[in-house]
């Protein structure tokens, strides 16, 4: 076990020293992986935990896809609630794909590709793009300063995560934290203070599409 941990730290340190792919401007992050998938039934690499990527946009809701109505794109599988949604996705997949490979956007803000969601309270459409989160608290913390956190998330995705081995990148950044890292407790305290003062940019119960236009 000790030998394995030493090899992991060595590998992560090497990745840190060598750096990642060349950066591209924020809001132009490539949607080419790695991807956050699960294995369910016949689908070994299922995106969005089986939720319909198009339904977020067309219905403003998290809707489970039908296992019988699915399509593959870039090596991963998407399920849809209807054939019409499947056709819509295939006509313009970049429009409907979740940002950051479907990983938790708040995790990518810290260069940590980890869990994600897609169900109720774990997603948001912001300026026409779909972002998913590992839980409601992750989304709440991210939205205390969405614009700043998006800049950071796109930066770390472009420079470290895109095209990488998600596991090694995650371990690296769990050991070598980003400069702006904050604990969950610190973020929760700030969120609760802003909630009490009614100064949260996105208050609980807000529309899933932010801003509306």
Q: What pTM value is reported for the model?
A: 0.86
- How sure is the predictor about 3, in pLDDT bands with cuts at 50, 70 and 90? very low
- Tokens standing for 155? 């930066």
| Separation of alpha carbons 21 and 74, rounded Å | 19
Q: Which has the closest alpha carbon to 89: 47, 49, 126, 118?
A: 47
First to last CA, the chain: 53
| Separation of alpha carbons 95 and 41, rounded Å | 27
Q: Which has the closest alpha carbon to 69: 56, 81, 59, 57?
A: 81
Radius of gyration of the chain (CA): 18
Across 78-103, average pLDDT: 97
Residue 30 is predicted with a pLDDT of 64
Across 20-30, average pLDDT: 46
In this predicted structure, the answer to whether residue 12 has a pLDDT above a threshold of 50 is: no
- Longest CA–CA span in the chain (Å) reads 54
pLDDT tens string 167-199: 999 999 999 999 999 999 999 999 999 999 999
Mean pLDDT of the chain: 88
Q: Which has the closest alpha carbon to 185: 153, 137, 139, 144?
A: 137
For the chain, the domains span: 2-29+93-210
pLDDT tens string 112-164: 999 988 999 899 999 999 999 999 999 999 999 999 999 999 999 999 999 99
In this predicted structure, the answer to whether residue 28 has a pLDDT above a threshold of 90 is: no
Number of Cβ within 10 Å of residue 39's Cβ equals 9
| Separation of alpha carbons 108 and 67, rounded Å | 29
Phi/psi of residue 73, each to 5°?
-150, 125
In this predicted structure, the answer to whether residue 52 has a pLDDT above a threshold of 60 is: yes
Numbers of helices and strands, H then E, in the chain: 9, 7
If one compares 125 and 207, the residue with the highest pLDDT of the two is 125
Evaluate whether 137 touches 188 at the Cβ level (below 8 Å): yes
| Separation of alpha carbons 87 and 166, rounded Å | 30
Residue 10 is predicted with a pLDDT of 40
């Amino acid at each position: 076990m000790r030998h394995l941990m030493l090899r992991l730290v060595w590998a992560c340190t090497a990745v840190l020293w060598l750096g990642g792919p060349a950066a591209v401007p924020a809001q132009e992050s490539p949607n080419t992986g790695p991807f956050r998938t699960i294995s369910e039934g016949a689908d070994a690499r299922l995106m969005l935990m089986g939720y319909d990527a198009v339904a977020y946009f067309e219905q403003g809701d998290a809707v489970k896809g039908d296992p019988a109505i699915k399509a593959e794109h870039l090596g991963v599988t998407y399920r849809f609630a209807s054939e019409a949604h499947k056709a819509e996705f295939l006509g313009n997949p970049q429009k409907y794909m979740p940002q950051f490979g479907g990983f938790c956007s708040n995790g990518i803000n810290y260069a940590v590709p980890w869990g994600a969601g897609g169900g109720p309270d774990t997603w948001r459409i912001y300026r026409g793009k779909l972002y998913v989160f590992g839980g409601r608290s992750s989304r709440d913390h991210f939205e205390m300063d969405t614009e700043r956190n998006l800049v950071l998330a796109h930066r770390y995705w472009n420079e470290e995560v895109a095209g990488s081995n998600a596991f090694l990148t995650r371990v690296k950044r769990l050991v070598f934290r980003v400069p702006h890292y904050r604990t969950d407790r610190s973020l929760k305290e700030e969120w609760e203070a802003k909630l009490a003062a009614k100064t949260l940019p996105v208050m609980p119960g807000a529309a899933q599409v932010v801003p509306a236009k």
